[in-house]
Amino acid sequence: MSKLTGQGKRLAIAAILLGISASAHAGDDRMLYASLGDTTRAPIGWIQFCADYADQCKSGPTEPRDIVMSQAAWRDLVRVNRWVNETIKPMTDMDHWGVVEKWSIPTDGYGDCEDYVLLKRKMLIEAGWPREALLITVVRDRKGEGHAVLTVKTDKGEFILDNENENVVAWTETGYHFVKRQSQSDQNVWVSLGDSRSAVSTASAKEH
């Protein structure tokens, strides 16, 4: 395949972004959650994580912010998602820590779904992305099992960073049922989404 010219690359990326934006809204009639619901309990893993990493859980209300989805922003999302997915090796909390559930930033190179999420979130915040647009989210996967992903709120829709997918996709394209996520206005407040059943956010490790 011949290489695209600089202008061709820009046009291709713009077309991709427009296509993704459209797909984010195309699924509105089959939404897996209808709207933000009531305040709900934070995942147990988050509570312990905040005890271990207080600097990552600063409290206090803030103004909700969405990202302007530029070409550079899209490249950042794709790069961070793929780098973390390729660099961190999957390991369950029981094998890793000897406990059923423990959230941590995987500095030793091993982790499960929520650890991938925490590292992606940390990297993007350190790169200047607003915390209010990066929301840890608990879902049920296609098997009905609990799973954690990172929702990125943008002016072109909500996109998902997932250790089970090297691509960044619109939330409507995941096939997941959304259970709860962090509030944009306070990261220590969690709001329910469409699936009222409780979900443990532990995920099966991705296969290589």
- CATH number for the domain including 119? 3.10.620
The verdict on residue 162 lying in a domain is yes
Question: How far is residue 64 CA from its own chain's centroid?
Answer: 17
Residue 198 belongs to a domain:
no
What tokens appear for 15 in the block?
């077309």
Domain count for the chain, please give it.
Answer: 1
The residue segments making up the domain with residue 180 are: 6-192
Is the distance from CB of 158 to CB of 176 less than 8 angstroms?
Answer: no
CA atoms of 203 and 100, how far apart (whole Å): 11
Q: Compute how many other C-beta atoms are within 10 angstroms of the C-beta atom of residue 74.
A: 20
Res 194: pLDDT: 72
User: Is 67 a domain residue?
Assistant: yes
Rounded to 10 degrees, the C-alpha dihedral 45/47/52/58 comes to 130
Stretches where the chain sits below pLDDT 70 are 1-36, 195-208
pLDDT for the residue 185: 92
* 149-152 contacts, C-beta under 8 A, 24 or more apart: 149/113, 149/117, 149/174, 149/176, 150/117, 150/120, 150/121, 151/181, 152/67, 152/77
